[in-house]
Amino acid sequence: MDQPHALVVASPGLGHLIPALELGNRLSSILNIHVTILAITSGSSSLTETEMIHAAAARGTCDIMELPSVDIEDLVEPDATVVTKIVTMMRAMKPAVRDAVKSMKQKPTVMIVDFFGTALLSITDVGVTAKYVYIPSHAWFLALIVYLPVLDKVVEGEYVDIKEPMKIPGCKPVGPKELLDTMLDRSDQQYRECVQSGLEIPMSDGVLVNTWEELQGKTLAALREDMDLNRVMKVPVYPIGPIVRTNVLIEKPNSIFEWLDKHGERSVLYVCLGSGGTLSLEQTMELAWGLELSGQSFLWVLRRPASYLGGSSKDDDQVSVGLPEGFLDRTRGVGLVVTEWAPQVEILSHGSIGGFLSHCGWSSVLESLTKGVPIVAWPLYAEQWMNATLLTEEIGVAIRTSDLPSKKVIGREEVAYLVKKIVVEEDKEGRKIKAKAEEVRVSSERAWTHGGSSHSSLFEWAKRCRLVS
Ligand code: UDP
């Protein structure tokens, strides 16, 4: 008999591809099933995206099929946001995905789509008997998304103007400092797309979410109650996290690790704002000044918008562009600034890392938590303001900037204050955050041991889908 076969469809972009590859890897290695990743690639796939696919293919745990995306120029306004473009593209990909599944020698019985691919849930007649959504983010985000269609009906005006945080049954209310960036302008199509996803998710057979019971028990219980009461979240939720990237990547730049080796235990701040996060020139300057002012050792993965690199990626080699005059000389030895793609998981695993200044993309957050590294939360886009609140107010492993989704420039004194609090451990609050980070690391490991909460949840799901007996 054929091995059970699950299909994971990844929407375009590294931020969607990485979680899909990791989910696929986890499913095939733990459940011992056949997994195919269908990676929808945008025409402009970055080198890193292609490398990532090749590296994952070389790992050999999953089949990987690339499907070039269709042209959507006529379907979106020229100034449409990335979210609108991706969702529109995934909707337009329905016939191509259907054909791809039909052409597979061994038909998958389970299909898993991501948040942007919920339109694919309506594909029929391809032999798939169970359709799931994978949310590579956390349970509170999931609750907000499925409640968005309700909020859309009851909240008047813009969400940024609400006076009272919005209530979601059993969950922490969502206030103006936790809004998704897609919620900032309700007249924008990307907001409508999010509401639509909120309607489509409960039409699946269930949701896999990248969190674990011990981290978000209360919110997960609220989602289950919602299902029992047949309210909004009508299908089961399976917490199967933390699923984080394992070392598939690309050669380690030795210079980084040689530099880290010279530093003491937990003494270096790692600064990285995700795969695409950039700051304005003014904010980059203030961050640099703040790092210098803190006197702490730092490893900074610096990304700058093409606009102030003269539009040429070649200028990226010029590390000093956009930094204060003499910054690199003054911080030599104390700080290392790199502009290339950094091996983040390996860096966070290095014993010298004592804190992570992060944009709070959920993958980065989990990579940090699974290593027990406390966070300076610097949210920039998507659901990152929510993540920052979750990390500071609910879990207690981070300290955050005073920034709101409405944006302001964070000054150098604030940067220095936050960095010192996390890395130097000079006061009670800093010590408490560090102790909590260690506690969460232990609980993240336990969730994946045999019989641990996420391990059990994954098997419960797999049994329901008849992927295992
Ligand atoms: N990442 C990396 N090196 C870099 C920048 C990012 O390895 O120089 C990885 C990081 O480890 C994480 C992913 O890219 O796995 C970023 O995902 P996240 O959800 O944190 O943020 P996004 O980039 O999607 O906003």
Per-residue pLDDT at 247: 58
Q: How far, in Å, CA of 213 to CA of 456, rounded?
A: 11
* Full DSSP string of 307-346: GGGTT-GGGGG-TTTTSPTTHHHHTBTTEEEE-SPP-HHH
User: For residue 276, how far is its CA from the centre of ligand 1 (angstroms)?
Assistant: 8
Q: Could you report the per-residue pLDDT of 268-296, keeping only the tens digit for each?
A: 999 999 987 889 899 999 999 999 999 99
Q: Are 447 and 454 in contact (CB under 8 A)?
A: yes
CA distance 273 to 339: 12
At 2 the pLDDT is: 78
DSSP 238-272: EE-------S--S---HHHHHHHHTS-TT-EEEEE
375 lines ligand 1 (CB under 6 A): no
Our answer on whether the CB atom of 232 is closer than 6 Å to any ligand 1 atom is no
Residue 181 Cα, ligand 1 centroid: separation in angstroms? 18
Ligand 1 pocket residue status of 367, Cβ below 6 Å: yes
pLDDT digits (tens, 9 = 90+) for 355-383: 999 999 999 999 999 999 999 999 999 99
- Check pocket membership of 362 for ligand 1, CB cut-off 6 A: yes
- For residues 112 and 6, is the Cβ–Cβ distance under 8 A? yes
Percent pLDDT > 70 in the chain is 93
Q: In the predicted model, is pLDDT for residue 425 greater than 70?
A: no
**DSSP H/E element including 437:** helix 428-447
Q: What value does the mean pLDDT take over residues 433-451? A: 97
Report which of residues 4 and 341 the model is more confident about. 4
Rounded mean pLDDT of the chain?
91
* Whether the CB of 253 sits within 6 Å of ligand 1: no
Is 317 a residue whose pLDDT tops 90?
no
**If you search the block for the tokens 């980065």, which residue do you land on?**
364
CA distance 393 to 386: 10
Atom of ligand 1 nearest to the CA of 136: 19
Sign of CA dihedral 178, 181, 185, 191: negative
Q: Is 276 in the pocket of ligand 1 (CB under 6 A)?
A: yes
What ligand 1 atom has the least distance to the C-alpha of 343?
7
In this predicted structure, what is the pLDDT of residue 276? Answer: 78
The predicted structure's pLDDT at residue 393: 96
The pLDDT score that the predictor gives to residue 340 is 87
Tokens for 317?
């080699």
Report the pLDDT value the prediction gives residue 315, as an integer from 0 to 100.
Answer: 45
CA of 275 from ligand 1 middle (Å) equals: 4
Q: What confidence score (pLDDT) does residue 404 get?
A: 67
Mean pLDDT of 290-312: 84
CA angle 20, 23, 25 (to 5 degrees): 110
Q: What is the pLDDT of residue 14?
A: 81
Q: Does the Cβ of 364 fall within 6 Å of ligand 1? A: yes
Residue 41 pLDDT > 80? yes
Average pLDDT over residues 220-244: 97
Bridging pattern class, strands 237-239 and 335-338: unpaired
Confidence of residue 36 (pLDDT cuts 50, 70, 90): very high
pLDDT digits (tens, 9 = 90+) for 389-409: 999 999 999 999 886 666 689
Residues paired with 36 in a beta bridge: 7, 63
Of 106-120, 218-232, 316-330, least confident by mean pLDDT is 316-330
Here the ipTM equals 0.99
Task: Report the atom number in ligand 1 closest to the C-alpha of 245.
Answer: 15
d(CA 212, CA 232): 21
pLDDT of residue 320: 87
pLDDT of residue 321: 87
Decide whether any atom of ligand 1 lies within 6 Å of the 15 Cβ.
yes
What's phi and psi for 201, nearest 5 deg? -55, -50
pTM for the complete prediction? 0.94
Task: Pick from 23, 363, 367 the residue to mutate for probing ligand 1's pocket: most ligand atoms within 8 Å of its CB.
Answer: 363
Residue 197 Cα, ligand 1 centroid: separation in angstroms? 24
- CA 234 to centroid of ligand 1, rounded, Å: 32
Mutate to test the pocket of ligand 1, among 52, 245, 273, 364 (most ligand atoms within 8 A of CB): 364
Q: Is 65 left (phi over 0), alpha (psi -120 to 50) or beta?
A: beta
Measured distance CA(380)–CA(131) in Å, rounded? 32
Q: What does the DSSP 8-state code read for residue 131? A: E
Check if 81 has its Cβ closer than 6 Å to any atom of ligand 1: no
Q: What is the pLDDT of residue 398?
A: 97
Ligand 1 contacts CB of residue 168 (under 6 A) = no
pLDDT at 316 over 50: no
Place 310 in a pLDDT band, splitting at 50, 70 and 90.
low
**C-alpha of residue 467 to centroid of ligand 1, in Å:** 30
